[in-house]
Amino acid sequence: MSAERRSLETLPPRDWPTAARTLEDDGVVFLKSALGPTDLALIEQEFAHSVAHPTPKAVNFYPSENATFFEDTGQRMLPMVRATGIDAMVAALFGEPDLWYMGEQLFLKENGFSRRTPWHQDTSYLRMMGSQLVACWVTLDPLPREHCLEFVRGSHKGTLYNGSAFAAHDDTAPLYKDSKLPRLPDIQKHRADFDILAWDMEPGDLIVFHLGMLHGGAGTVPGMRRRTVSLRFMGPNVVFDGRPRDNVGAQEGNDAALAAVYGALKHGDPLSRVMGQKI
């Protein structure tokens, strides 16, 4: 696998300035046919390897529901990111060559009626601010719009909510009990009140979204498999969000490694010095 960043000329042609403007305005951009068959084969191989070799952070959510809802995070997919040119696409969207890879998150839903991923913002869990802060969401299975990842348009510029605890019967149950952040709205119950974006997706299509976006993932029905990966990146304008988030001191979430990083930072400190892999 190549260690060099691919040049944009080797990737499907696209109007990158327009795509960047959509990402900036809406908080999400859909890139049709961004990846070719060789790229997909590589991602599929990496996905299978990760599922077969889960990290200690892997979670099987909602085990009583009798369907698979597997989630894991890791830092193993950077060679794939480079080989497929996903980093080159992010650099084009940022208009910025310097990038840091923050890692991948895998979701596998299958074997029955697997439930939705609750609506949430990644920045509720990560104390990060800046426009150059995105996930690239890839599906390995065709997903009609109703099984896609969904977004509230422009919500990266709105309120930052408390995290979802991913509770079985209450999607908005707050993760952080003493938080100053407001409870999530019940978007699923009041969908008509929100400007929701989603797409019919084929393997090869890519969605890039800002980590401040309200987003939620559809579930599966019997006979379906939904294998998806989020690859997260930041650019140099991303800084530590040190504003108080709870009533008892710094809110570190449930990640001890992140807590150690945050403890050494002041509001506005660049995060690229301390997090992610420079690529």
Ligand X SMILES: O=C(O)CCC(=O)C(=O)O
Dist. CA 212–CA 196, nearest whole Å: 15
Total residues at interface with ligand X (CB under 6 A): 11
Residue whose entry in the numeric block shows the structure tokens 């060789």: 38
Nearer to ligand X, 215 or 245 (CB): 215
Least Å from the CB of residue 15 to ligand X: 25
Dist. CA 182–CA 149, nearest whole Å: 23
Give the residue closest to ligand X by C-beta.
217
Dist. CA 125–CA 258, nearest whole Å: 10
Report the SS3 class of residue 89: helix
Least Å from the CB of residue 232 to ligand X: 8
Dist. CA 6–CA 239, nearest whole Å: 27
Site string for ligand X, 220-249 (x = CB under 6 A): --------x-x-------------------
- Is residue 155 a contact partner of residue 176, using CB atoms and an 8 Å limit? no
- Please tell me whether residue 70 binds ligand X under the rule CB under 6 A: no
Residue list 148-177, contact with ligand X (CB under 6 A): 149
Nearer to ligand X, 139 or 179 (CB): 139
- Please tell me whether residue 105 binds ligand X under the rule CB under 6 A: yes
Dist. CA 222–CA 201, nearest whole Å: 19
Nearer to ligand X, 117 or 155 (CB): 117
Nearer to ligand X, 216 or 265 (CB): 216
H or E stretch at 216: strand 215-217
**What are the residues binding ligand X (CB under 6 A)?**
105, 107, 117, 122, 135, 137, 149, 215, 217, 228, 230
